[in-house]
Chains A and B, each alone.
Chain A
Amino acid sequence: MKLIIAFIKPFNLEQVRDSLKSVGVSGMSVSDISGFGRQRGQTEVYRGAEYEVEFVPKVRLEVIVTDELAGPAVAAIESSAHSGEIGDGKIVVVAVEDVVRIRTGERGADAI
């Protein structure tokens, strides 16, 4: 089982969600975060004073998948979140020890 964490540009979320669904990923969670890598932040101007805002809004998307689905899921995210511009984001694949479905108590792959 794998936990796939993707840091993407917020406006790509719908595309990425649809792309993941089309490869068979059934659930996901998203959070609004800020971050930066090589993407420079933005400059905001208020009454003539310039403010450098380094942290750029991003979306953190997480899905838990079986090992077989990990490759297709990563490919789905990569293709739908890609624009070629700096700031497209990163995908991280983490090995998962266990998963529990809280409602039923199922564990392991059955819980995904």
Chain B
Amino acid sequence: MDSGDAAWVLTSAALVLFMTPGLALFYGGMDRTRNVLNMLMMNFWCLLIIPIVWAVVGFSLAQSGDGAFLGNLDLAFLRGLGITGEDGGSALLTVAFLGMFAVITPALISGAVADRMKFSAWAIFAPVWLLLVFVPVFKWVYGGWIGDRGALDFAGGTAIHVNAGIAALAAVLVLGKRKGWPSQGHPPHSMPLVMLGTGILWFGWFGFNAGSALAANGQAVQAFMNTFLAAAAAGLSWGFVEKFRDGHFTNLGVASGIVAGLVAITPGAGFVAGMSPIWIGLATGVICSFAVGLKNKAGYDDAMDVVGVHFVGGLVGSLAVGLFADPEFFGGEFLAGAFYGGGFKLLGEQFLGNGATIAYSFVVTTLIMLALKATIGVRVAEGVEDSGLDLAEHAETAYSSGSATLAGH
């Protein structure tokens, strides 16, 4: 990897890391004052445990070898990944860069399970889910059977967003609804935090998408452009849906649209061009603004709409690749979308790859949650759910009333 490429990928890795605290604030602002610290902790926990698990076995199982379904352990413990060898450390750089994606993927699920999941259960769930669900699916898409069939996923629409999104659904079905849901809800406690988190996510997403070119090249430039346009378009369309449907242009609608657009362009960031990201963004903003209402009709308590935004947005974007992929623009050799002369072959592979991911992730996530439920339990006690998780799980208060004295004085 030349130094220009390495510099960009290093920067991108840092940008993607920043997305996890950004996500924490995005969700945290939507949460209530008595639970915001628990939400932050669920995300920061991923930042703590996943890097370790990734370096020790995760990366090796996710990328090492030619397995169609799983990697091997050749690169466990970062064995052989040095900086003085021929590649000058570019393999190690890939470990770091992909590790940031490994961190944020389980973190996405935290938004769904908010306000009622035992932290000890989450603490175990995150790394176990990483190894049993994220790692195999990652291998299938990148160097395994799904990718080999020609399905496209530039930065993780399927491997990350559809995967975590459907896992969130499985998790909340086992976890159960919050007490009083849906008749007793709570509005976001801090919209400023939500908007701050959104801004950080968009900023970091340039690393998520454009960094996935693994080079500072033309594809990275186009991915950057796509990330810019799709987010804006989706923010606009979701915003306007709310204006016409509910009566006001809201910050939350705009923020949700931006994130949905970013999710949707993730699988196609390095494969679509021109006005395609705008169409993809506009469509996703509209679709997801209605998809978030599904939970009320279907009766599942997805607290912060992980399913409506990440699952639906990721799926829409991934299928859109089957329409908009333009290999000629990129001078690349990948399947063309239906609008670019490729017929329906790519769309078919997108369906298949996402279908397999959905089935596998849903089943295994359910099993992990059931195992936790049967052993240590997944839900906090009712009294804790009432009075808040921050104090009970973390002995902390987000917004102190001001009168606290040091014990023993």
Mark A residues whose CB is within 8 Å of B: 44-51, 53
Contacts of B150 in A (CB 8 A): none
B187/A47 in contact, CB under 8 A: no
Query: What chain B residues lie within 8 Å of A50 (beta carbons)?
Result: 246
Residue on A with the closest CB to B290? A48
Q: In residues 245-263 of chain B, which contact A (Cβ within 8 Å)?
A: 245-248, 250, 252-253, 256
Among A47, A49, A51, A53, max chain B CB count under 10 A is at A47
Q: B185 contacts A45, CB within 8 Å?
A: no
Inter-subunit contact B185/A48 (CB<8 Å): no
A53 CA to B253 CA, complexed, in Å = 19
Contact with B256, one of A45, A47, A49, A51 (Cβ below 8 angstroms): A47
Name the contact of B293 in the complex, choosing from A44, A45, A48, A51 (C-beta under 8 A): A48
Residues of A near B248 (CB, < 8 A) are: 45
The CA of A53 and the CA of B242, in the complex, are separated in Å by 20
Sample (14) of A-B pairs whose CB atoms are under 8 Å apart: A45-B246, A45-B247, A45-B248, A46-B187, A46-B252, A47-B256, A47-B292, A48-B242, A48-B245, A48-B246, A48-B289, A48-B292, A49-B296, A51-B185
Residues of B within 8 A of A44 (CB): 187
Q: Is the CB of B247 within 8 A of A46?
A: no
Q: Is B188 an interface residue (CB 8 A)?
A: yes
Inside 8 A of B289's CB, which chain A residues have their CB? 47-48
Q: Are A49 and B185 in contact (CB under 8 A)?
A: yes
**In the assembly, what is the distance between CA of A45 and CA of B245, in Å?**
11
What is the CA–CA distance of A46 and B256 in the complex, to the nearest angstrom?
Answer: 10
B292 partner residues in chain A, CB cutoff 8 A: 47-48
Cβ of A48: which chain B residues have Cβ within 8 Å of it? Answer: 242, 245-246, 289, 292-293
Q: How far is the CA of A46 from the CA of B246 in the complex (A)?
A: 10
Rounded to whole angstroms, the CA-CA distance of A57 and B356 in the bound complex is 52
B153 in contact (CB, < 8 A): no
Shortest beta-carbon distance from B310 to chain A in Å: 14
Q: Of the candidates B245, B250, B293, B296, which one forms a contact with A46 in the assembled complex, judged by CB atoms under 8 Å apart?
A: B250
B349 contacts which chain A residues (CB < 8 A)? none
How many Å from the CB of B285 to the closest CB on chain A? 13
Given A47-B252, A47-B289, A47-B292, 19 other A-B contacts at CB below 8 A?
A44-B187, A45-B242, A45-B248, A45-B250, A46-B187, A46-B188, A46-B250, A46-B252, A47-B256, A48-B242, A48-B245, A48-B289, A48-B293, A49-B296, A50-B246, A51-B185, A51-B186, A51-B187, A53-B187
Does B390 touch A at the CB level, under 8 Å?
no
What separation, in Å, do the CA atoms of A44 and B292 have in the docked complex? Answer: 17
In the complex, A53 Cα to B305 Cα: how many Å?
22
The 5 closest A-B pairs by CB, nearest first: A51-B187, A45-B246, A46-B252, A47-B292, A46-B187
Q: How far is the CB of B377 from chain A (nearest CB, A)?
A: 30
- The answer to whether A47 touches B253, judged by C-beta atoms less than 8 angstroms apart, is yes
From 226 to 250 in chain B, residues with beta carbon under 8 angstroms from any chain A beta carbon are 242, 245-248, 250
The residues of A that contact B252 with a CB separation of less than 8 Å are 46-47
Q: Give the distance in Å from the alpha carbon of A44 to the alpha carbon of B252 in the complex.
A: 11
Q: Does B185 lie within 8 Å of A47, measured CB to CB?
A: no
Mark each residue of chain B from 168 to 208: 1 if its CB lies under 8 Å from any CB of chain A, else 0. Answer: 00000000000000000111100000000000000000000
Q: Which of B269-327 contact A (CB under 8 A)?
A: 289, 292-293, 296, 305
Distance between Cα atoms of A46 and B245 in the complex (Å):
12
Q: How far is the CB of B306 from chain A (nearest CB, A)?
A: 13
| Residue numbers in A under 8 Å from B242 (CB-CB) | 45, 48
**Distance in Å from the Cβ of B376 to the closest Cβ of chain A?**
32
Contact: A47 with B305, CB < 8 Å?
yes
Q: Which residue of chain B has the shortest Cβ distance to A51 in the bound complex? A: B187
Q: How far is the CB of A44 from chain B (nearest CB, A)?
A: 5
The interface residues of chain B lying within 8 Å CB-to-CB of A46 are 187-188, 250, 252
Residue in chain A with minimal CB distance to B253: A47
Report the bound CA distance from A41 to B247 in whole Å.
18
* Inter-chain contacts of A45 with B (CB < 8 A): 242, 246-248, 250
Q: Could you tell me the distance between the alpha carbons of A46 and B252 in the complex, rounded to whole angstroms? A: 6
CB distance from B161 to the nearest CB of A (A): 18
For residue B246, which residues in chain A have a CB less than 8 angstroms away from its CB?
45, 48, 50
Contacts of B247 in A (CB 8 A): 45
Give Cα A14 to B248, complex, Å: 31
Tell me which of A45, A46, A49, A53 has the highest count of chain B C-beta atoms within 10 A of its own C-beta. Answer: A46
Q: Which residues of B contact A53 (CB under 8 A)?
A: 187
A49 contacts across to B, CB distance below 8 A: 185, 296
